[in-house]
Structure 1
Amino acid sequence: MAAKLMLRRSFWYWDRQHEGTDGEPAQSRVGVVVALGWMLSRRKNLAPYTRLYKSRGWDCLVCHPHVFNLVFPSGATTLAINVLEELAKDLRKHPSPVVFAVFSGGHKACLYKIIQILLGRCSDMDIEMGKFAEVKQSLSGLIFDSSPVDAVSHLGAKFVSHQVLTLRPGRPIAIVSWVAYAVSRGVDVVFSRQLGQERIDLWEALYSTVHIGPVLFFCSENDKLAPIETIQIFASNLRNLGGEVEMVAWKESEHVGHYRKYTEQYHDKVVKLLSAAAENYSKKKCHDLKEKSGTALPTGNSVKMSSSISSSWTDLSEPIICEISRLARLPHIHTKKGSNTDQCTEHGGARRHVDVHMFTQSTDPSKAGYSVGIRSML
């Protein structure tokens, strides 16, 4: 079975709440969630998530990336173009907000190439500017589950051995772990310059989503594949750039196993984000219509809009672009793990405080997490 999945190509499919004639979406749909699964994920693995999204009126475009997309950017580019073409075709007929739900290595296997293409920065292929304008205008939020991770060799070895070469994440085979670590180290040495540039490209693309809309992170302290420190650094930097960020963490939870263990909390946070993304999309559409008609926008408290609504999320200011370029070149891994209740981290010259707010004192394990709010003191 493992060998069969390893040879399987990237594939995608629609999972709609209610399909009309010819597989068309229902008129009542709220939006589209693009679920980017982890390597070797199967339909049944993502079914609980798609049921959650569909229960809120969102159709799902589900993508299962090929294992080698993690190593070869051309594979990630091919999948990204296919996803964008499928989305664009759907959105031309039925405009609606789009949220990307990224699991584990999905950011490396597809998402960052999608962002590069929409920004016009993809060097892999010559893509006509404006080809996917419908998608760019519809992006309204992001969900990261056990993601993102930094692209470095020792984490890559863990990632491959635990997730790619085994059918169940978190249960490695000893010999596979050893081989994966050796191969990862060898690849890192041979392609060190290329991988270094890919790493910068990856983080630049992810940081460039700062004005897409609300961003939600799910992670845990004992996740060795997606270290909480890396996610904290990224979330903190994204917040400092002006992003709308929320991070939910638990002390103990398996990689991509948070929804299974903390169903109620996970459900509530996803529902909140989808609602915020839909509202964000509606405000942007209203703003665009008023701009086209030349109608003056209301002032005061009657309309509250973030800077991301007043212009396209791709229209980043020069200072933000420069800061993104700087942050993308910094390591996203702590050598030491500090206290989670009062963590202060030095990164890129900025002193950041991470506030941890307990949800509840209940002994019920489904309610034993905490939510992390991030503020910056520069």
Structure 2
Amino acid sequence: MSLSATLKRAGLAPIGKGIYLSNRTREASGSSNPSKTPNIILVFGWMGANLPHIFKYTKVYQEMYPDATQIIVQSRPQFFWSSNRTRMNNLVPVAEVLEAHGCSGTKLEVAPASESDPPRILVHSFSNGGGIQMYTLGKLLRARSKSSLDFRGHKPRMSAMIIDSCPANATLPGALRAFTASLPKNSPLRIPLIIFIILIYSFNSFKHRIFGVQPIFERLKRGLLRQGPEGGILPWMTEKTPRMYVCSKQDELVPFEEIEEHVKEAKGRGLNASIEIYDDTPHVAHARKYPERYWGAVKDLWAAAVQS
């Protein structure tokens, strides 16, 4: 099936490079109280994830929250070694959609077109690839905002965040596992890719030692712990925003102990964080093996956002 046919079947339209928007008509749904459900769902796919794999999640969201507009962002390996400006420019279409729906800045002012239906945003990020896209979007939204960076006197939007199989520490073995996971062991590209990753990692380590530039994975971890007048990793998030980390003891790419340690630090800083630990699921495959538990936890997380 061609890409255009796949997108049409899924009700999506491309709005940027690796970025897709649901174009479902907003007809009346069976929702008993649509004002209590998300009307925007941001999905950041894991690195190298093809659309059919991401669709397995977005399809469930279409069934759970049929009134929501979905924005899907893919993550490609080249995103990691692109310049910061290139990363941010790639996400401009996402920022424009969010701004059109009322996310007009860190001050959380409602745009005129959305006064009757203010943003209620559910964010679902997968692995470090999706997490870095999310982190970059937060930087872009702040850069585009002309509002005063002050939350005082403003009520945060209804929002929640799922962080699946993330974050991981910035280590060379971890980077090698992440970038080569999708390649067959006998692939002729494997050795050149490993050499390239080692060179990139060494260069980034040099920048960190000489110029103090943190590796991007460390910036992601710092972004996830962000709080204060400029918001969290995304501008509308506060320390009260419910967030759920998901990990597995059998994840070969991201050790669950690293996520546990991060969640412990997040809680210590007063962030509203919880964690779901699976015993026997591979990387970003928890929903596939235990759909009832996984999606039940997502519903519970959103219920907490409604009450917060």
Which digits, 9 at most, give the CA deviation of each residue in 1:121-176, with x for residues without a partner?
Answer: xxxxx63433999xx9536211011122223322111100004xx4xxxx654654
What SS does the corresponding residue of 1:36 show, helix, strand or coil?
strand
Q: Are 1:44 and 2:52 counterparts?
A: yes
Query: Which residue of 1 is the match for residue 81 of structure 2?
Result: 71
Query: Which residue of 2 is the match for residue 19 of structure 1?
Result: 25
Query: Which residue of 2 is the match for residue 316 of structure 1?
Result: none
User: How far apart, in 1, do the equivalents of 2:257 and 2:191 lie?
Assistant: 25
What SS does the corresponding residue of 2:144 show, helix, strand or coil?
coil
Aligned residues with identical type, % of pairs: 19
Relative to structure 2, which stretch is displaced further, 61-70 or 204-213? 204-213
The structure, 1 or 2, with the larger RCO (C-alpha pairs under 8 Å, 6+ apart) is 2
Which digits, 9 at most, give the CA deviation of each residue in 1:29-79, with x for residues without a partner?
Answer: 622210001122222212221122233324321111332112223333223
User: How far apart, in 1, do the equivalents of 2:128 and 2:158 lie?
Assistant: 20
User: How far apart, in 2, do the equivalents of 1:75 and 1:244 lie?
Assistant: 32
TM-score normalised over the length of structure 1: 0.59
Which digits, 9 at most, give the CA deviation of each residue in 1:330-352, with x for residues without a partner?
Answer: xxxxxxxxxxxxxxxxxxxxxxx
User: How far apart, in 2, do the equivalents of 1:144 and 1:257 lie?
Assistant: 13
| Residues 1:132 and 1:161: Cα distance change in structure 2 (over 3 Å) | farther
| Residues 1:140 and 1:67: Cα distance change in structure 2 (over 3 Å) | same
| Residues 1:142 and 1:86: Cα distance change in structure 2 (over 3 Å) | same
- Structure 2 gaps, min length 5: 1-15, 28-32, 103-110, 227-231, 233-237
CA contact 1:156–1:184 (8 Å) conserved in 2? yes
Query: Which residue of 2 is the match for residue 187 of structure 1?
Result: 200
User: How far apart, in 2, do the equivalents of 1:75 and 1:269 lie?
Assistant: 35
TM-score normalised over the length of structure 2: 0.72
AA of the residue aligned to 1:273? L
Which digits, 9 at most, give the CA deviation of each residue in 1:335-372, with x for residues without a partner?
Answer: xxxxxxxxxxxxxxxxxxxxxxxxxxxxxxxxxxxxxx
User: How far apart, in 1, do the equivalents of 2:131 and 2:296 lie?
Assistant: 27
Report 1:1-378 matches (<5 A): 10-15=17-22, 18-20=24-26, 28=34, 30-31=37-38, 32-57=40-65, 58-72=68-82, 73-91=84-102, 92=111, 93=114, 94-118=117-141, 120=142, 127-130=144-147, 137-138=156-157, 140-163=159-182, 166=183, 172-173=185-186, 176-194=189-207, 196-199=213-216, 200-208=218-226, 209=232, 211=239, 213-280=241-308
- Structure 1 gaps, min length 5: 1-8, 22-26, 121-125, 281-378
CA RMSD of aligned residues (A): 3.0
Task: Number of aligned residue pairs: give it.
Answer: 253
Which digits, 9 at most, give the CA deviation of each residue in 1:208-248, with x for residues without a partner?
Answer: 13615111111111212111121111111101111122111
